[in-house]
Amino acid sequence: MLRSITCLAAVAATVSATAIDLTKRASPLAVSLTSVSDTKVKIAVTNTGSEDYNLFYKGTFLDTDSPADKLVVSSADAVAPFNGVFQRMATHELSADVFKPLLAGQTLEAEVEIAELYELGADGEYSVAAVGAMPYAPLNSTSLSGKALPFSSNKLAINVEAAKAAAVPFVVDKMIAKRTTIQSDCTASRLTAVRTGLSNCARLATAAATAASSGNAAKFSEYFKTTSSTTRNTVASRLRAVATDCSTSSTRTKTYCTDVYGGCSSNVLAYTVPSLNIIA
């Protein structure tokens, strides 16, 4: 089922969190970036420690199948906008294909075409880096340890010709071009499931809006890091908009019974395509 994400963006914008400097934490992962050609880079990650890991790699730079947000790309003026897919992954009962083993001393490599994922709208020098943390399971296991290995690569400088970068199609555009005919409605058991889902959506969003505006302040602060009445009203307003969208016929959103954008794979719970205002 695909829904609009405009109403959720304001909620996300109200959330504040303390920044964590991953470079200050010891990690066995050594990540390096090198230039391949134009806007394509190679990323190598080496396990410099003595322990073997089964890396939960989906949505990271090792995931060559998903147009995920894999790098930090910025010009001298601003961070390059990401134009790909954000996936929300399951963390329990995981399948083996969402892991990659990384033995002590071993190196894994992947290539990323930056112009397929980020908007490079101006000529000039861009800085590229890989920063984050990768969850893992013990070797030969698919049960996450509950910990993650931080990584922070070198900063790679690349010179970009905006016109040449613009000639490279975004991955999400290629996904749309390959999709099957979009279904205008759902039938039989799928129709029943969608109606039930939308009814539950409206009920839960309404309850959440009430809790956001007048519920337990400590619980609100746990998720949004503030008890400001302005923030509480903003969150409640967006949740009421979700409830309205789920409970009425809307020209702003569409619901499908098939994965028309091809973003589903093993253990993917949901995904968003921000540039297309889509949540699935």
Output the domain CATH number for residue 106: 2.60.40.2970
Whether residues 164 and 188 share a domain: the answer is no
Contact status, residue 95 vs residue 137, Cβ threshold 8 Å? no
pLDDT at 77: 87
Output the domain CATH number for residue 225: 3.40.390.10
pLDDT at 280: 66
Whole domain around residue 217: which residue ranges?
178-259
pLDDT at 248: 67
Q: Is residue 80 part of a domain?
A: yes
Domain final residue pick, 116, 149, 169: 169
Name the nearest CA neighbour of 106 among 60, 50, 38: 50
Element (H, E) at 247: helix 229-247
pLDDT tens-place string over residues 13-62? 333 333 334 444 589 999 999 999 899 999 999 999 999 999 999 989 99
Tokens 């109200």 — which residue? 14
pLDDT at 200: 86
pLDDT at 135 over 80: yes
Q: What is the 8-class DSSP label of residue 31?
A: E
Element (H, E) at 44: strand 40-47
Neighbours of 25 (CB within 10 A): 13
pLDDT at 210 over 70: yes
Mean pLDDT of 208-230: 92
Alpha-carbon distance of 41 to 254, in angstroms, equals 37
State the amino acid at position 50 in one-letter form.
Answer: S
Q: Is residue 50 part of a domain?
A: yes
Q: What is the pTM of this model?
A: 0.64
